[in-house]
Amino acid sequence: MAAATIERIGEHLFVNADCVRGAAAHLADGSVDLIVTDPPYGIEGDRLDRHYNRDERFVDEGYVEIEARKYASFSRAWIAQAERVLKPGGQLYVVSGYTNLYDVLGALRKTSLREINHLIWKYNFGVYTSSKFVSSHYHILYYAKPGGRRRFNLQARFALDETNADGRSLNYRDREDVWNINREYKPGQRKNKNELPKALLKKILAYSSKEGDVVCDFFLGGGSTAAVVIGMNRRFIGFEISERTFRSRIPDLREIVAGSLLETAPEPHVVRNRGKSWSAAELEQLDGRFKELHASGATRAAIIATLSAELERGAWAIRKRLRSARNF
């Protein structure tokens, strides 16, 4: 067997090989913090364009599918490697269609990995059908390896007391197990079949990892996971069996600037003054800034968010004060 091609981009490692062999050769037991991966779904490739009603000219031709009859044994093989390489407490997110979902679930149940959530990702532009319901979701199977502390950044994207204009908790809503995230529309650009949107990957990484963590993707494809991992300052290792796909994506990945996505990934909101009584100076500041913001035409939600950040108090506390002082 020919040696696998390996590309290094800084501290990130890309291996052009079957993931089962690649993981055996390149990943030590208990060396990975997080695996985020999207295996082929075992659907005949030439049906995918009809499924997604799209122009196939720009879709990468290197895509390697798994034969349906081998799907169960292949799932067991790669998921056994995933279990081995994860650290205790390490986590695995697998994106799966419904067609061969039972094989993926069956393989997961043969391991020590524990189910944390069965998420549903609802996307736009579902698979058009006229004689049955339109399919517009994927499953995301969120598992963890027992024996260590699992990282879950509770306030990764919204503070516990952040609310929308209707007073509903943004944190709660963000942590519901049905995610509405649109696919990326990339007219005229090269893409992998089933490319994952960056918003979805950023959400997973924000909740389940920290900067410097080792994050692995067993099925690189178009490299969206790799791009977000590098952009969020984690360390990447991944595998892709198709030489054509591998070669076509490496140049783009070289262009990703480490940490470049961190600015757009909101940091946990600091609420330093939570629970402290209000001083006269703070109340004056609240009143003065409220008048300014209101006069500028800012929305109610924007006013609360701005005051919350400036006064380092939760949105709920700001709203309560404004309500009692000005019936806001």
Ligand X SMILES: C[S@@+](CC[C@H](N)C(=O)[O-])C[C@H]1O[C@@H](n2cnc3c(N)ncnc32)[C@H](O)[C@@H]1O
Interface residues toward ligand X, by CB under 6 A: 18-19, 38, 40, 63-64, 66, 192, 194-196, 219, 221-222, 224-225, 239-242, 245
Check: CB of residue 179 under 8 Å from CB of residue 203.
Answer: yes
Beta-carbon contacts of residue 120 (< 8 Å; ≥ 6 apart): 137, 138, 139, 140, 177, 178, 179
**Interior angle at CA 102, CA 14 and CA 200, nearest 5:** 45
CB of 14 to ligand X, least distance (A): 11
Classify residue 64 as exposed, middle or buried by CB count within 10 Å of its CB (0-12, 13-18, 19+): middle
CA distance 240 to 278: 57
The residue with its CB nearest to ligand X is 221
How many CA within 13 A on the CB side of residue 154?
4
Q: How far is the CB of 291 from ligand X (least distance, A)?
A: 48
Helix (H, G, I), strand (E, B), or coil: what is residue 22? helix
Residue 150 vs 198, nearer CB to ligand X:
198
Collapsing DSSP states into helix, strand and coil, what is residue 43?
A: coil
Would you say 141 or 286 has its CB closer to ligand X?
141
In the complex, minimum distance from the CB of residue 32 to ligand X, in angstroms, rounded to a whole number: 16
Closest separation in Å from C-beta 36 to ligand X = 8
Q: Residue 78 or residue 207: which is nearer to ligand X going by CB?
A: 78
The residue (of 94 and 156) whose beta carbon lies closer to ligand X is 94
Name which of 238, 274, 230, 235 is nearest 254 in CA terms: 230
How far, in Å, CA of 277 to CA of 177, rounded? 36
Closest distance between ligand X and the C-beta of residue 179, in Å?
16
**For ligand X, the closer CB: 44 or 166:** 44
Please name the amino acid found at residue 288: G
Cβ closest to ligand X, residue 18 vs residue 33: 18
**CB of 310: closest distance to ligand X in angstroms?**
39
75 or 155: CB nearest ligand X: 75
Amino acid at 137: H
Closest approach of ligand X to the CB of residue 192, in Å:
4
Q: Which CB atom, from 17 or from 315, has the smaller least distance to ligand X?
A: 17
Question: Distance of CA 77 to CAs 17, 52, 95, 130, Å?
Answer: 15, 29, 17, 37
Q: How far is the CB of 321 from ligand X (least distance, A)?
A: 45
